[in-house]
Amino acid sequence: MDLSYSAEDIAFRDEVRRFLRDKLPPELAQKVRSHTLLSKDNFERWHAILNERGWLAGNWPKAFGGAEWNAVQRHIFEEECALADAPRIIPFGLHMLGPVLMKFGTKAQQDHYLPRILDGTDWWCQGYSEPEAGSDLASLRTTAVRDGDHYVVNGQKTWTTLGQYANKIFCLVRTDSNVKPQAGISFLLIDMDTPGVEIRPIVLIDGTHEVNEVFLTDVRVPVENLVGEENQGWTIAKYLLTHERTNIAGVGFATAGLAALKRIARAERAGGRPLAENPHFAARIARVEMDLMAMATTNLRVIAAAAAGAAPGVESSMLKIKGTQIRQAINDLTRRAVGPWAMAFPSEAVEGTNLSHPGPDYAGPAAPVYLNYRKISIYGGSNEIQRGIIAKTMLGL
Amino acid sequence: MDFSLTEERRMLADSLRGTLKRGADWSQLAELGVLGALFTEDEGGFGGGGFDIAVVFEELGRAGSTAPILDAGLAGGLLADCCETALVERVIDGTTRPAFAHDEPGNRYDATVRSRASGDTINGAKSMVVSAEVANLLVVSAQDQDGLSLFAVEPGAKGVSLRTVPALSGGQVSEITFDNAPARRIGPSTGAARLIEYRLAAATLALCADALGTMETVKEMTLDYLRTRKQFGRPIGSFQALQHRMADLVIEIEQARSAVINLAGHLGAQPEQRALHVSATKNIVGRTAHLVAEESIQLHGGIAMTESYALGPLARRLIAVDHRFGDEDWHMERFIALRTAS
Ligand SMILES: Cc1cc2nc3c(=O)[nH]c(=O)nc-3n(C[C@H](O)[C@H](O)[C@H](O)COP(=O)(O)OP(=O)(O)OC[C@H]3O[C@@H](n4cnc5c(N)ncnc54)[C@H](O)[C@@H]3O)c2cc1C
């Protein structure tokens, strides 16, 4: 047993650190640190910087313009980026659609779409969920009916993350209603500019607009936008899920969050002392830190197995649950740490105001971020669904 | 032993529930006697006991009302302690709407008052004053030659400035600064600290009862959703994993109800005894409110994350409980200290 990185891994980590020190624009890091929602330009700027270095698509093969990192390198990169407060990489094109096209797409689709993902021409969003199809995704109802060289699409998608920035959406649609639900689904690429596509904002309980509803009314989609075969969509969706779940533990985000929490606990005073020295609060922080130390190793165990060629499996469900619990615990403590300042909630959700928070700089985001991050145990397969997978697949119950 | 409400309290609760459902404004609430129920007969009201407070605020919480009753009751109670009979009458009939400006910036949950008054003016800063924006009278704590004292300040007067933002709980909170603002000293020359202690205990009971009512509503909403939302061809409430979570919530809410009853029953006890119950109840209700907020969101799924669904403001209201009048840890420490001393 050896808990340390190899010499090459350490050299790689140092290289990533140098890169982040030299190339990460401080104003972007500042925005990430203060939990300001990044603009489309902000994300695109960071993507371009990474792309120039050849690091935007760490998981893609070199043949497609990726870095072809192994699981350990990907982990190192993600962790260092999180610790440096780099903007997150928008996953929809890079981590979801890209791998799907490489596996199921035609040569023409690969040649057309993959470069556009790298150079930022296209911003993709994910059109899976529907109002009535959440956990039970296979029950989706949006239909695509063949009409000559086109599919005519009707239905509604929802929860479309950052759809307001996107020009493209990949959708699961129903192409056969006479078979069992999973067998009648297809994977379709849709241009958001097509007539009949209408996007409406959803405001979340922290006041942010990061998700949307997408209405599709008689949207004509060329048949060449079908990925894989007709009715192969479920297989593709399951394949995509395994990619969606990289970095699922979020160790880097948790580590950065814990460091921020400690800074706040040192700045806040309770009973004439720094809050960090209050025995109750110190115990709360210590507990989550211990959990994180153990989870980081669980994560590395899974990563080492993956690097050795094991298929990602039920471990990702474990990491999703533990990872979200720890991140939510850190956000919860951050909210507690700011004490009475959390009472001020100058959120657009409440009054359409853009008033600023009256407390210290760190106080404003604490409650909104806490609220926003309740989502992470709901999306990407809720924690209840993950427990079901563990019970069934891992434990055979 | 009798855990049932008196006939008058039950009637007040029922009519309050009906009125709030129809959407009541401030004067309707005053007319209904909501404010009168917070004051004793000696003070000009018809209630003022722990259970009067608990009944009124459970209904306000159940309805998610943001009417500033708690703040008017808290500040009005201090006015009553200071024998401001005429003002109290106006508080009860709804014409005067006071708020209590006590906490100061950077104090966390300890109220160390640094604001100073001399002669007829006051200087200092107050923090996170709920409902100050809609108040037409401020009761302010400050140090003067006699130590901690209470003052009446007109919020519109020269030298008073408010910086107001929406509150996590609903309603509004303000940062207030007093810069040589005109102030009128009220009440006796000593003993303000004792008056404040009692009125804050009563306000903490009010906040806990409010949270209890909110939890009841959130429970009903969640149950309703579990019964009607279908995934995998059946109501999600038929999944045993969710049934057990819901059952646990109900157990905790009943614990919180008992905690509120404990405090209501000991509001008039000796100060140490009262403080012990304030801390036990606030700790339990804080914990439970947090649990109910998080679990109700999770059990709903994505819809609970949206502002347009009615759960959001209620979940925020529950989370806010722990950020006012001392959080879980603060009350845990105080409980330990009191138990160790006794
Ligand atoms: C902020 C946010 C961003 C999102 N972004 C996207 C996106 O970009 N694209 C996209 O397609 N989707 C997105 N989603 C949707 C997300 O994947 C769904 O919310 C998720 O699948 C859960 O579905 P639901 O919300 O309909 O909840 P439901 O499926 O209705 O679940 C409600 C509750 O029932 C539980 N439950 C359901 N089935 C079972 C079961 N069998 N056993 C036990 N418990 C069960 C759930 O765990 C949950 O607690 C996003 C969601 C959110 C909140």
**Would you say A168 and A190 are in contact if contact means Cβ atoms under 8 Å apart?**
yes
Say if the Cβ atoms of B168 and A367 lie within 8 Å: yes
Is the minimum distance from the CB of B243 to ligand 1 under 6 angstroms?
no
Tokens read off for A149 = 């060289």
- Total tally of structural domains belonging to chain A: 3
pLDDT tens, position by position, A157-190: 999 999 999 999 999 999 999 999 999 999 999 9
Of A1-10, A100-109, A208-217, A351-360, minimum mean pLDDT range: A351-360
**Would you say A67 and A58 are in contact if contact means Cβ atoms under 8 Å apart?**
yes
Q: Average model confidence (pLDDT) for chain A?
A: 94
**Residue B142: closest CA among B91, B106, B178:** B178
Same domain, yes or no, for A272 and A389? Answer: yes
| Domain end position, chosen among A46, A67, A89 | A89
Q: What is the DSSP string of B231-291?
A: ETTEEGGGSHHHHHHHHHHHHHHHHHHHHHHHHHHHTTS-HHHHHHHHHHHHHHHHHHHHH
Predicted local confidence at residue B189, as pLDDT: 80
Say if the Cβ atoms of B166 and A347 lie within 8 Å: yes
Tell me how far the alpha carbon of residue A381 lies from the centroid of ligand 1, in angstroms: 6
Q: Are strands A168-174 and A124-127 parallel, antiparallel or unpaired?
A: parallel
- Would you say residue B19 has pLDDT above 70? yes
* Residue having the nearest C-alpha atom to atom 50 of ligand 1: A159
Predicted local confidence at residue A245, as pLDDT: 62
Predicted local confidence at residue A276, as pLDDT: 98
Predicted local confidence at residue B197, as pLDDT: 97
Q: B88 burial class (0-12, 13-18, 19+ CB within 10 angstroms)?
A: buried
Predicted local confidence at residue A146, as pLDDT: 97
Is A126 in CB contact (< 8 Å) with chain B?
no
Is the minimum distance from the CB of A46 to ligand 1 under 6 angstroms?
no
Class (C level, CATH) for B193-341: mainly alpha
Say if the Cβ atoms of A280 and B241 lie within 8 Å: no
- Would you say residue A352 has pLDDT above 60? no
Whole-angstrom Cα distance, residue B97 to residue B131?
A: 9
Burial code (b: 16+ CB inside 10 Å, e: under 16) for A371-397 equals: bbbbbbbbbbbbbbbbebbeeeeeeee
- Would you say residue A351 has pLDDT above 60? no
**Residue B49: closest CA among B224, B205, B200:** B205
- The pTM score is 0.97
Same domain, yes or no, for A378 and A264? Answer: yes
Q: Which residues of A touch B107 (CB under 8 A)?
A: 340
- Would you say residue A309 has pLDDT above 80? no
Catalytic member of A244, A277, A351, A384: A244
Sorted by sequence, the CB contacts under 8 Å of residue B307 that are 6+ apart come out as A203, A204, A205, A207, A349
| Alpha helices (runs of H) in A165-275, residue ranges in sequence order | 233-244, 251-267
Q: How confident is the model at residue B2 (pLDDT cuts 50, 70, 90)?
A: confident
Same domain, yes or no, for A388 and A339? Answer: yes
- Would you say residue B290 has pLDDT above 80? yes
**Would you say B173 and B167 are in contact if contact means Cβ atoms under 8 Å apart?**
yes
Phi, psi of A217 (to 5 degrees): -125, 110
**Would you say A167 and A123 are in contact if contact means Cβ atoms under 8 Å apart?**
yes
B98-188: CATH topology is Butyryl-CoA Dehydrogenase, subunit A; domain 2 (2.40.110)
**Strand (E) or helix (H) holding B341:** helix B328-341
Sorted by sequence, the CB contacts under 8 Å of residue B216 that are 6+ apart come out as B58, B61, B62, B253
Same domain, yes or no, for A259 and A388? Answer: yes
Predicted local confidence at residue A313, as pLDDT: 74
B294 to A86, A161, A363, A379, B232: CA distances (angstroms): 29, 22, 21, 15, 24
Nearest ligand 1 atom to alpha carbon A92: 8
pLDDT tens, position by position, A258-302: 999 999 999 999 999 999 999 999 999 999 999 999 999 999 888
Predicted local confidence at residue A304, as pLDDT: 82
Same domain, yes or no, for A166 and A193? Answer: yes
Percentage of the residues of chain B whose pLDDT score is greater than 70: 100
Predicted local confidence at residue A36, as pLDDT: 85
Same domain, yes or no, for A271 and A388? Answer: yes
Predicted local confidence at residue B1, as pLDDT: 74
Same domain, yes or no, for A131 and A176? Answer: yes
Predicted local confidence at residue A312, as pLDDT: 66
Predicted local confidence at residue A244, as pLDDT: 61
Range 112-141 of B in CB contact (< 8 A) with A = 127-128, 130
Q: Average model confidence (pLDDT) for chain B?
A: 96
Query: Does A15 participate in catalysis according to the annotation?
Result: no
Average pLDDT over every residue of A332-358: 85
Q: Where in chain B is the domain with CATH 1.20.140.10?
A: 193-341
Tokens read off for B108 = 């966390």
Say if the Cβ atoms of B333 and A339 lie within 8 Å: no
- Which residue is associated with the tokens 């350990």? A72
- Would you say residue B96 has pLDDT above 80? yes
Whole-angstrom Cα distance, residue B153 to residue A375?
A: 44
Nearest ligand 1 atom to alpha carbon B229: 30
B7-92: CATH topology is Butyryl-Coa Dehydrogenase, subunit A; domain 1 (1.10.540)
- Would you say residue A310 has pLDDT above 80? no
Average pLDDT over every residue of B163-174: 96
Q: Where in chain B is the domain with CATH 1.10.540?
A: 7-92
Same domain, yes or no, for A215 and A129? Answer: yes
Same domain, yes or no, for A227 and A262? Answer: no
Is the minimum distance from the CB of A102 to ligand 1 under 6 angstroms?
no
Minimum Cα–Cα distance from B296: chain A residue: A374
- Would you say residue A335 has pLDDT above 70? yes
CATH number of the domain enclosing A195: 2.40.110.10
Average pLDDT over every residue of B69-93: 97
Percentage of the residues of chain A whose pLDDT score is greater than 90: 85
Predicted local confidence at residue A349, as pLDDT: 55
Whole-angstrom Cα distance, residue A303 to residue A322?
A: 15
Q: Where in chain B is the domain with CATH 2.40.110.10?
A: 98-188
A387: left (phi over 0), alpha (psi -120 to 50) or beta: alpha
Q: How confident is the model at residue A303 (pLDDT cuts 50, 70, 90)?
A: confident
- Count of CB atoms situated within 10 Å of the CB of B54: 27
Minimum Cα–Cα distance from B332: chain A residue: A280
Same domain, yes or no, for A174 and A288? Answer: no
Is the minimum distance from the CB of B233 to ligand 1 under 6 angstroms?
no
Choose between A380 and B264: higher pLDDT.
B264
Average pLDDT over every residue of A374-383: 95
| Angle separating helix axes B192-228 and B240-266, nearest 10 degrees | 160
Is A351 in CB contact (< 8 Å) with chain B?
yes
Same domain, yes or no, for A334 and A385? Answer: yes
Choose between B21 and B218: higher pLDDT.
B218
Q: A128, A141, A216, A379: which to mutate for ligand 1, most atoms within 8 A of CB?
A: A379
Predicted local confidence at residue A247, as pLDDT: 76
Whole-angstrom Cα distance, residue A176 to residue A159?
A: 24
- Would you say residue B87 has pLDDT above 70? yes
- Would you say residue B118 has pLDDT above 70? yes
B141 to B113, B115, B151: CA distances (angstroms): 7, 7, 6
| Strand extents, DSSP E, chain A | 124-127, 143-147, 150-158, 168-174, 185-191, 197-202, 211-222, 226-227, 269-270, 273-274
Q: B42 burial class (0-12, 13-18, 19+ CB within 10 angstroms)?
A: exposed
Percentage of the residues of chain A whose pLDDT score is greater than 70: 97
**Residue B110: closest CA among B335, B338, B331, B260:** B331
- Helices then strands, counting H and E runs in chain A, come out as 14, 10
Show the 3-state SS of B178-212.
Answer: EEEEECEEECCCCCHHHHHHHHHHHHHHHHHHHHH
Is B301 in CB contact (< 8 Å) with chain A?
yes
- Would you say residue A243 has pLDDT above 90? no
Average pLDDT over every residue of B303-329: 97
pLDDT tens, position by position, B40-78: 999 999 999 999 999 999 999 999 999 999 999 999 999
Q: Which domain holds residue A330?
A: 249-395
Same domain, yes or no, for A255 and A385? Answer: yes
Is A11 in CB contact (< 8 Å) with chain B?
no
Q: What is the DSSP string of A334-369?
A: HHHHTGGGGGB---HHHHS--PPPSS-TTTTTHHHH
Q: Which residues of B touch A349 (CB under 8 A)?
A: 307, 312
> CA-based angle B61:B208:A328, to the nearest 5?
90
In a domain, A244, yes or no: no
**Residue B208: closest CA among B264, B265, B251, B247:** B264
Q: What is the DSSP string of A38-55?
A: PPHHHHHHHHHHHHHHT-
Is the minimum distance from the CB of B239 to ligand 1 under 6 angstroms?
yes
Report ipTM (2 d.p.): 0.96
Which among A134, A204, A345 has the least Cβ separation from residue B301?
Answer: A134
pLDDT tens, position by position, A195-207: 999 999 999 999 9
CATH number of the domain enclosing A309: 1.20.140.10
Q: How confident is the model at residue A237 (pLDDT cuts 50, 70, 90)?
A: very high
Tell me how far the alpha carbon of residue B292 lies from the centroid of ligand 1, in angstroms: 19
Tell me how far the alpha carbon of residue A46 lies from the centroid of ligand 1, in angstroms: 29
| Angle separating helix axes A279-307 and A251-267, nearest 10 degrees | 160
Say if the Cβ atoms of B324 and A340 lie within 8 Å: yes
